[in-house]
Chains A and B, each alone.
Chain A
Amino acid sequence: MSDLIADKISVAFAGLRALSEVDLKVTSGQIVGLIGPNGAGKTTLVNVMTGFQPATSGSVSLEGQNLSGLKPHELRRRGVARTFQGGRLFRDLAVIDNLEVTGVGLGLSRAAAIAEAEAMLDWVGIAPLANLVAGALPYTDERRVAIGRALMGKPAFVLLDEPAAGMSATEAQDLSSLIRRIAGEMGCGVLLIEHNVGLVLDLCHHVVVLDSGVVIEAGDPATIRSSERVRHAYMGTAADTNLPVLEVME
């Protein structure tokens, strides 16, 4: 059991406060949800936790070790992996090459990287797609490749940035069971960012709600469901109902 902890993370962009003193903890084997309206700072937090963005103040630590200032690939080697919105695969490379290059980047030999990539494609259920060009894949398969890529090297933690965006209800169900296996079978700690609140409440052990860079609620799904503050953040007041309600309910 180990923990990935974000401690009082603040990020300011040219005067604009994107995050203020955000606390978040992911434990191995658990799925933690991170939800909130557009612009709440969810991706910024993931960027900070994976070394893509420095925090203005606060620290990120793994098993008690401070990770602040490490570069993304250094964090990756220590077991903190992520996916990106929209996948960001190497679109001109074959599916297997996308995973293989990640393995090589982690320091594996080429043969070991290929072996692990093959096993991983099988594990996420897309073994038959190994030799297709990644850019030609349908949306849902692309997401699986991105998740497979993030799981190369068996990271202790994986941060999934909107993996279900644009998926149909059935596709999202398939994805849910994959995410459960990541936490259950691999023992990975998962941080799940999603707009699909239903999916998050269904999957996660613990949910953190961000709004305008501040944690407005944190707790188990039941707490989140009954929270007045969360409802308020999503729905707005009666006079201010133009927030993305439909997107939330999808």
Chain B
Amino acid sequence: MGSLLQVLFDALSLGSLYALGALGIALIFGVMRLVNFAHGDVIAACVFALLWPSVDAVAIIFAGNLPWYLLIPFLLAIGAALSVASEIVVFRRFRRANPATMMIASFALGFVIRYFLLMLFSSRPKSISLLPSLSQPVEILGARIPLLQLITIAVTMAVLFGLTTFLRRTRFGLEMRAAAENFTMARMLGVRANRVIMGAFALSGALAAAIALILGSQTGTANIMMGASVMLMAFIATVIGGMGSLAGAVLAGFLLGAIATVMQVILPPDARAFRDAFVYGAVILVLIFRPQGLLSARGTKERV
């Protein structure tokens, strides 16, 4: 019972991370058909925003020392600002470009961010202790669950609930849902395209910052490559969720988390090193049977 519960919480917390990442990618894909591969590097940049720039091996904590109620808004704002800046500086010039061109631009932006971090902080992973009180375990029905895992899951649920409410109940959310489904038509009807796109980038950046907080606390390290693996899984989640479908992205994120966790448990120890190969195998199966994704967004198929 205890170990089963442990697996469940592992799956949920890993899935949360993927779901938040997938949501950040799907939001932007929805409004401008851009697969933003720089998203992972925005995550890494948010982690490093906690540190003071230095190439020393020992991290000099800067914002990381703030109390949590200042730290969290600070980091969310950094993520949103960085993401909006990337829209203004880079992606705005590619509005009319085809998706492949935009994707390559996002790769380029990702490299720029990564090497900028490399310049400021060096490539050595640094140990940070972010919100250390969160790593202590909590006992639930005989399972020892790290408090951070519970918080990760709770935060993700809160974010999902908040985002759903925002999209359903606010004017901006309404404009965004319309634009995500059919951007051209929304624009014809007078929806303010720039505001909607900037809003999507801001939300996506804030989600990247949330991932940065979770990853930073979980791993206790800051590494310029740390966004890349989440980004890859999150991208896969948006694909199997149905490009552009927010609900699909979240669902697929949790599904991937579950598959990865279950593989970790049931694979023989010698095969565990190849866990990701099995996960990708499962992804291939999904795509063979549902090439349009689990919940396909209609907007990707018919545009004006």
**Residue A229 is within 8 A (CB to CB) of chain B in the complex:** no
Q: Which of A52, A76, A77, A101 makes the CB contact (< 8 A) with B175?
A: A101
Known: A88-B304, A92-B297. A104 touches B185 (CB 8 A): no
Q: Are A76 and B188 closer than 8 Å at their CB atoms?
A: yes
Q: Are B298 and A110 closer than 8 Å at their CB atoms?
A: no
Tell me the complex Cα distance, A91–B297, Å. Answer: 10
With both beta carbons as reference points, the residue of chain B lying nearest to A88 in the complex is identified as B185
Q: For A93, what are the chain B residues with a Cβ–Cβ distance below 8 Å? A: 174, 177-178, 181
Residues 85-119 of chain A, each 1 if its beta carbon lies under 8 Å from chain B, else 0: 00010111100010011101111011001000000
Tell me the complex Cα distance, A134–B218, Å. Answer: 43
Residues 155-199 of chain B, each 1 if its beta carbon lies under 8 Å from chain A, else 0: 000000000000000110011011001100111111100000000
B298 to chain A, nearest CB (A): 5
Known: A104-B171, A104-B191. A135 touches B182 (CB 8 A): no
Known: A101-B189, A105-B186. A92 touches B174 (CB 8 A): no
Q: For B190, what are the chain A residues with a Cβ–Cβ distance below 8 Å? A: 73, 76-77, 102, 104-107
* Most chain B beta-carbon neighbours within 10 Å: one of A76, A105, A109, A135: A105
Q: Are A110 and B185 closer than 8 Å at their CB atoms?
A: no
Q: For B175, what are the chain A residues with a Cβ–Cβ distance below 8 Å? A: 101, 104-105
**Residue A219 is within 8 A (CB to CB) of chain B in the complex:** no
Residues 114-141 of chain B, each 1 if its beta carbon lies under 8 Å from chain A, else 0: 0000000000000000000000000000
Q: For A104, what are the chain B residues with a Cβ–Cβ distance below 8 Å? A: 171, 174-175, 190-191
Q: For B181, what are the chain A residues with a Cβ–Cβ distance below 8 Å? A: 90-93
With both beta carbons as reference points, the residue of chain B lying nearest to A102 in the complex is identified as B189
* Most chain B beta-carbon neighbours within 10 Å: one of A52, A88, A97, A101: A101
Tell me the complex Cα distance, A72–B297, Å. Answer: 25
Q: For B186, what are the chain A residues with a Cβ–Cβ distance below 8 Å? A: 90, 101, 105
Per the 8 Å Cβ criterion, residues 105-141 of A in contact with B are 105-107, 109-110, 113, 135
Q: Are A90 and B188 closer than 8 Å at their CB atoms?
A: no
Q: Are B177 and A105 closer than 8 Å at their CB atoms?
A: no
Q: For B182, what are the chain A residues with a Cβ–Cβ distance below 8 Å? A: 88, 90
B234 to chain A, nearest CB (A): 22
Per the 8 Å Cβ criterion, residues 133-161 of A in contact with B are 135
Q: For A72, what are the chain B residues with a Cβ–Cβ distance below 8 Å? A: 188
Q: Are A97 and B171 closer than 8 Å at their CB atoms?
A: no
Tell me the complex Cα distance, A88–B298, Å. Answer: 12
Tell me the complex Cα distance, A106–B188, Å. Answer: 10
Tell me the complex Cα distance, A52–B170, Å. Answer: 29
Tell me the complex Cα distance, A52–B174, Å. Answer: 24
With both beta carbons as reference points, the residue of chain A lying nearest to B189 in the complex is identified as A105
A181 to chain B, nearest CB (A): 23
Q: For A106, what are the chain B residues with a Cβ–Cβ distance below 8 Å? A: 189-190
Q: Are A76 and B174 closer than 8 Å at their CB atoms?
A: no
Q: For B188, what are the chain A residues with a Cβ–Cβ distance below 8 Å? A: 52, 72-73, 76
Q: For B178, what are the chain A residues with a Cβ–Cβ distance below 8 Å? A: 90, 93, 97, 101
Q: For B185, what are the chain A residues with a Cβ–Cβ distance below 8 Å? A: 88, 90
With both beta carbons as reference points, the residue of chain A lying nearest to B298 in the complex is identified as A91
A87 to chain B, nearest CB (A): 11
Q: Which of A92, A102, A110 makes the CB contact (< 8 A) with B171?
A: A110
Residues 41-63 of chain A, each 1 if its beta carbon lies under 8 Å from chain B, else 0: 00000000000100000000000
Per the 8 Å Cβ criterion, residues 187-239 of B in contact with A are 187-191
Per the 8 Å Cβ criterion, residues 251-304 of B in contact with A are 297-299, 304
B: residues with CB less than 8 A from A are 170-171, 174-175, 177-178, 181-182, 185-191, 297-299, 304
A and B contact pairs by CB, cutoff 8 A, 22 listed? A73-B187, A76-B188, A76-B189, A88-B304, A90-B177, A90-B181, A90-B182, A90-B185, A92-B177, A93-B174, A93-B178, A97-B177, A100-B174, A101-B178, A101-B191, A104-B175, A104-B190, A105-B189, A105-B190, A105-B191, A107-B190, A113-B171
- 17 new A-B pairs (CB below 8 Å) besides A93-B181, A102-B190, A105-B189? A73-B187, A73-B188, A73-B190, A76-B189, A76-B190, A90-B177, A90-B181, A91-B181, A92-B177, A92-B181, A92-B297, A97-B174, A97-B177, A101-B186, A101-B189, A105-B191, A107-B190
